[in-house]
């Protein structure tokens, strides 16, 4: 996509073909999809609309925008950050490089959470490590009678989450607090066992795994959202130890986990002393992805 090429030559079809080949060469696993999302973003249209406009010639502005997006994508910047948006559970979330990009794996946790909360009216939910707010906000959308508290150690992430809650119309029922795990609750004196569920997608990558992560993740997503000590369980271990203090009797802890941590997490939950009904749940790829346990009634 050289700047000197004649503008007539850059039709939608040609730019899609060129970008797909370029991104493939630079290591994208989904070059055609990336090309379509970026071009739709540059043209302010839906992906579908590109197909009815194959012969349109790009404007100068569109070409400039596309050139910048493609250069950044070729350096492994995730598409979600480039377009500032990612869909989660059918809802559009704003994302920036301050938040982890919501993953489809996490939808499994949300499904389990909603199922567990079904018998409870006006449930109270605590989301620890909220990032973009995807778990807290989705739960609030799905359960209009719920009240949600969402905590994160990153102020920058909380700003994005608050914005999402506002845009998605749940800011009156989702409270955002800044701090380390349960510390903001203790600081406000509300450390009574008042939650029907505590949900978390904690960081769970091992320190020694970090260098081997895909460049999209390693170079661009916040390290604080990813890495949790030598065995990846530093945060999960604390959540399992401390959450019973904040759960009502019969309330549930739900953690997203890496499949290879499943047995270690099961053991932590079973030996903590406060939990029963410990279960490991598979995601749509049939990987063990969620650990769930009930605080003894």
Ligand X SMILES: C[S@@+](CC[C@H](N)C(=O)[O-])C[C@H]1O[C@@H](n2cnc3c(N)ncnc32)[C@H](O)[C@@H]1O
Binding site for ligand X (CB under 6 A): 100, 102, 106, 128-132, 134-135, 151-154, 157, 180-181, 201-203, 224-225, 235
> Which residue number, 39 or 150, has a Cβ lying nearer to ligand X?
150
**Least Å distance between CB 65 and ligand X?**
27
Contacts of 31 (CB under 8 A, 6+ apart): 19, 20, 21, 22, 23, 24
**Least Å distance between CB 157 and ligand X?**
5
Token pair in block for residue 218: 């390693």
> Which residue number, 10 or 89, has a Cβ lying nearer to ligand X?
89
> Which residue number, 45 or 91, has a Cβ lying nearer to ligand X?
91
> Which residue number, 201 or 261, has a Cβ lying nearer to ligand X?
201
**Least Å distance between CB 11 and ligand X?**
37
Q: Report yes or no: 110 and 139 within 8 Å, Cβ to Cβ.
A: yes
Q: What is the DSSP letter of 229?
A: S
Q: Report yes or no: 25 and 91 within 8 Å, Cβ to Cβ.
A: no
- How many CB atoms are closer than 10 A to CB 7? 11
> Which residue number, 132 or 164, has a Cβ lying nearer to ligand X?
132
> Which residue number, 28 or 130, has a Cβ lying nearer to ligand X?
130
**Least Å distance between CB 25 and ligand X?**
30
Cα 34 to Cα 18: distance, rounded to the nearest angstrom: 12
**Least Å distance between CB 39 and ligand X?**
26
Cα 229 to Cα 226: distance, rounded to the nearest angstrom: 10
**Least Å distance between CB 23 and ligand X?**
25
Q: How far apart are the first and last CA of the chain?
A: 64
Token pair in block for residue 83: 């377009």
Q: Report yes or no: 129 and 249 within 8 Å, Cβ to Cβ.
A: no
Token pair in block for residue 223: 């390290």
Residue 42 backbone phi and psi in degrees, to 5: -65, -30
Angle, vertex CA 159, rays to CA 96 and CA 227, nearest 5: 60
> Which residue number, 108 or 201, has a Cβ lying nearer to ligand X?
201
- How many CB atoms are closer than 10 A to CB 184? 18
Q: Report yes or no: 192 and 240 within 8 Å, Cβ to Cβ.
A: no
**Least Å distance between CB 79 and ligand X?**
16
């Amino acid at each position: 996509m050289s700047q000197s090429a004649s503008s007539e030559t850059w039709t939608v079809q040609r730019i899609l073909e060129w970008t797909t080949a370029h991104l493939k060469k630079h290591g994208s696993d989904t070059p055609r999809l990336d090309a379509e999302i970026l071009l739709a973003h540059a043209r302010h249209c839906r992906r579908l609309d590109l197909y009815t406009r194959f012969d349109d010639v790009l404007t100068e502005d569109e070409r400039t925008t596309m050139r910048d997006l493609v250069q950044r994508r070729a350096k492994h910047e995730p598409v979600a950050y480039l377009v500032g948006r990612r869909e989660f559970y059918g809802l559009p979330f704003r994302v920036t490089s301050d938040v982890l990009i919501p993953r489809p794996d996490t939808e499994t946790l949300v499904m389990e959470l909603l199922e567990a909360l079904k018998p409870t009216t006006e449930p109270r939910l605590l989301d620890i490590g909220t990032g973009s707010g995807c778990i807290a906000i989705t739960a609030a959308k799905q359960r209009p009678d719920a009240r949600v508290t969402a905590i994160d150690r990153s102020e920058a992430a909380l700003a994005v989450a608050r914005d999402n809650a506002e845009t998605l119309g749940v800011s009156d029922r989702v409270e955002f607090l800044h701090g380390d795990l349960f510390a903001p609750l203790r600081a406000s004196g509300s450390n009574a066992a008042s939650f029907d569920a505590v949900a978390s997608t904690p960081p769970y990558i091992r320190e020694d795994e970090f260098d081997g992560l895909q460049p999209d993740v390693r170079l661009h997503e916040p390290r604080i959202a990813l890495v949790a000590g030598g065995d990846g369980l530093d945060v999960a271990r604390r959540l399992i130890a401390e959450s019973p203090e904040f759960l009502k009797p019969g309330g549930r802890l739900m953690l997203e986990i890496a499949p290879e941590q499943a047995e270690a997490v099961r053991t932590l939950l079973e030996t903590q002393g406060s939990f029963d009904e410990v279960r490991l749940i598979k995601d749509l790829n049939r990987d063990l992805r969620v650990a769930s346990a009930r605080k003894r009634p």
